[in-house]
Structure 1
Amino acid sequence: MNAAILLALVPALAWGSVGLVNTKMGGSAGQQTLGMTFGALIFGLGTMFFYVMPNHAYMGSEIWVVGLVSGLVWAVGTAGQFLAIKDLGVSLAIPLSTAGQIVTNALMAAIVLGDWKTGRMWAIGVISIIAVVIGATLISARDRALNSGINDQVQANNMTKGLVYLAISTAGFMFYFVLPNFLNKIGYISDTIKSEHNGVDYMTAIVGPQAFGQVIGAFLIVIFVLKEADKMFAKPTWKNIVTGLVWAIGNIFMFISAANPAIGQTIATTFSQLGIIVATFGGIYLLGEKKSSYQMRLIVIGTILVVVGAIIIGNINSFT
């Protein structure tokens, strides 16, 4: 298999494990978000001091703006996802989040970045998006035979809250994914800066400033939105540094792949979402989240639809 494709699959393994790792580390959504950003900051500073600066990559004000803003919107996406996990569980929240990101990232890449250039590409892309949406619907289906009365109402309320959190999360992650290439598209980041060493210098230079944006965003969310200022620095926060390091490995490989002309934004972001397999079945078999045999059949079918749709979107040029 092509080495570039293998590198593009690293985020799927890393990000698919994030929900599992942060659940094992424990803590509130605020502690998990903040701890994760501390881990991302450690990795970001390491990338800056041991790769970016020794290679004299450009680190001008534009890089800091892109990094800080993408870090801020990422913090929104992450906090929303952790809140959704509390209500829905890993095996439901992550697949739904993944499907939402596949759809929004594909549409943003197609419409804003102009990756879909022909009617045939649009037709195949839309069909693939429909497959992803149907798959996500099947994954999220509840077995009504197992629920009734008050318990059913509680689950319905949790589902509604979880979906609202996921909508906010998806919007944050969408802007985080597309921002570096979008700012190049509109001319804020020059082609010279973006294309240096096949884009690797640009994307790795962003990681350090991005980590600062993530930490700032996490503090703002934890203090003013989640109201958890009194427990920000409890033990679970520090334990979730591990979650941040796992995420950061996926992050840098995703950005490098997105910058590589042989991979591109659409394929990189789509492949990164294949972590749905790790998250879905890891939540069920490693975390013990209960599913009926009826739900398991729907989950398997839904996961297949999401993965097939994602692969087609990621390789849409091959089908046209």
Structure 2
Amino acid sequence: MNILIGLIPALCWGLYPIFLTKMGGNYFQQLFGTSAGIFICASIVQVGFKYQISVNDFMLYFTSGLFWSIGQTGEVWCFKEAGVSKIMPVTTAFQTIGNSLIGGWLFSEWVGISDNLLGLVALIIILLGVFVSDGLVKIERKDIMIYLILLVTTIGFWGYSGFPHYCHTSGLAGFFPQSLGMLVGSSVIYFVGHNKIKGSDPFGIKNIISGIVFGGAASTYLLSLSLNGLVNAFALSQLNVVIATMVATVILKEKPKNQIISTLTGLVILIFGVFLMVSI
């Protein structure tokens, strides 16, 4: 059951970038709409279950949400610049490396030499899968800056996954303060990007739907963190790359048909690496 709960974020996060693309708007509108949708989901959960949380844990989850807004800004911008199918495998690699090393070494989820060796082997396999699926061996000069921005902003996702680990409160109790941090961070970025708060923003409103999809992932991811640990919860969630990449390839037609086989091969390798990591 724990593994099944851990797979729900993969499904929702896999569909999320597709919703973003279909809803339209610039990345500021997509970011703000997403955070608003997540906040709505979290508010409903909080009203329904009336979770209690300490001030210290509230601030840690809130900070986690602020970090998310940084990571999400970079990811959504890169989606716009390079496409979902091209960015998803790369952001998966960046996030997996950071979160796995943080969870395995900082939080001591990897115990002994064998766990550490298996973890490093799994990371290498995951990276190999990314290279095969995305063809990064043929990286173009114009894409270098995109990937650098993605790497720097991925620090936000590391903080998003890492800060809840310091909390004494686990699971959905932290969803509301985390979503509040997401909304505050996204609102600041939205305001800076537009230099004003718009009275009506149809694309921002439409992307609330994307946020509700993301909210389904975020809430179950918090449950998975407490049930499966940071490394395993994150590894399972990153199977979203399979859904997002293949849907973007087939439905959004972001890649030619002759690249589908290499994409599938790379994703199979990546999945193997993820499940090897989960087995530690």
Q: Same fold (TM over 0.5)?
A: yes
Where does residue 128 of structure 2 map in the other structure? 134
Tell me, yes or no, if the aligned pair for 2:96 and 2:235 is still in contact at 8 Å: yes
CA positional deviation for 1:135: 1.4
Shift of 1:133: 1.1
Moved more, 10-19 or 130-139: 130-139
Aligned to 1:210: 178
2:226 to 259, 267, 272: 259
Residue matched to 2:163: 179
**Distance change >3 Å, CA 230–CA 288, structure 1 → 2:** farther
Return the alpha-carbon distance in structure 1 between the equivalents of residues 145 and 197 of structure 2: 24
2: distance between equivalents of 1:214 and 1:79?
11
Q: Which amino acid aligns with 2:145?
A: K
- What's the CA shift string for 1:198-236, capped at 9, x where partnerless? xxxx32121111111111101222233x34646684211
- Summarize the Cα distance change of 1:209–1:173 in structure 2 as closer, same or farther, 3 Å threshold: same
- Cα distance change, pair 308–48 in 1 and its aligned pair in 2 (3 A): same
Q: Which residue of 1 aligns with 2:20?
A: 22
Cα gap change, 1:17 to 1:169, in 2 (>3 Å): farther
Distance in 2 between the 1:143 and 1:290 partners? Answer: 16
CA deviations 1:260-296 (Å, max 9, x no partner) are 2xx2221111101101110110001111213351x33
Question: 1:220 aligned to 188, 191, 207, which one?
Answer: 188
**What code does the residue aligned with 1:22 have?**
L
CA contact (8 A) 1:75 1:217 kept: yes
Aligned residue for 1:121, secondary structure, equals: helix
Name the residue aligned to 2:31.
33
The answer to whether residue 5 in structure 2 is matched with residue 7 in structure 1 is yes
**How many residues in Structure 1 have an aligned counterpart in Structure 2?**
280
Which of these two proteins has the greater Rg computed from alpha carbons?
Answer: 1
After superposition, residues 229-240 of structure 1 pair within 5 angstroms as 229=196, 233-240=200-207
The answer as to 2:245 corresponding to 1:286 is: no
Instruction: Give RMSD over aligned pairs.
Output: 1.9
The one-letter code of the counterpart of 1:220 is V
Relative to structure 1, the CA distance from residue 296 to residue 72 in structure 2 (aligned partners, 3 Å threshold; closer, same or farther) is same
> Is the CA contact (8 Å cut-off) linking 2:6 and 2:236 kept in structure 1?
yes
CA contact (8 A) 1:31 1:233 kept: no
Shift of 1:13: 0.1
TM-score normalised to structure 1 length: 0.83
Amino acid at match of 1:67: Y
Q: Which amino acid aligns with 1:270?
A: A
1:82-102 Cα distance to aligned partner (Å, 9 max, x none): 001011101111121112212
SS in 1 for 2:239: helix
User: For the structure 1 residues 204 and 143, does the alpha-carbon distance in structure 2 shift closer, same or farther, using more than 3 Å as the test?
Assistant: closer
Which position in structure 2 is the counterpart of 1:169? Answer: 153
For the structure 1 residues 136 and 228, does the alpha-carbon distance in structure 2 shift closer, same or farther, using more than 3 Å as the test? farther
Q: Write the distance in 1 (CA, Å) between the matches of 2:91 and 2:201.
A: 28
How much identity, in percent, do the aligned residues show? 25
Unaligned segments of structure 2, at least 5 residues: none
- Residue identity in the other structure for 2:40: I
- Distance of 1:160 and 1:142 partners within structure 2: 10
Contact 1:222 1:232 in 2 (8 A): no
The Cα of 1:61 is off from its aligned counterpart by 0.7
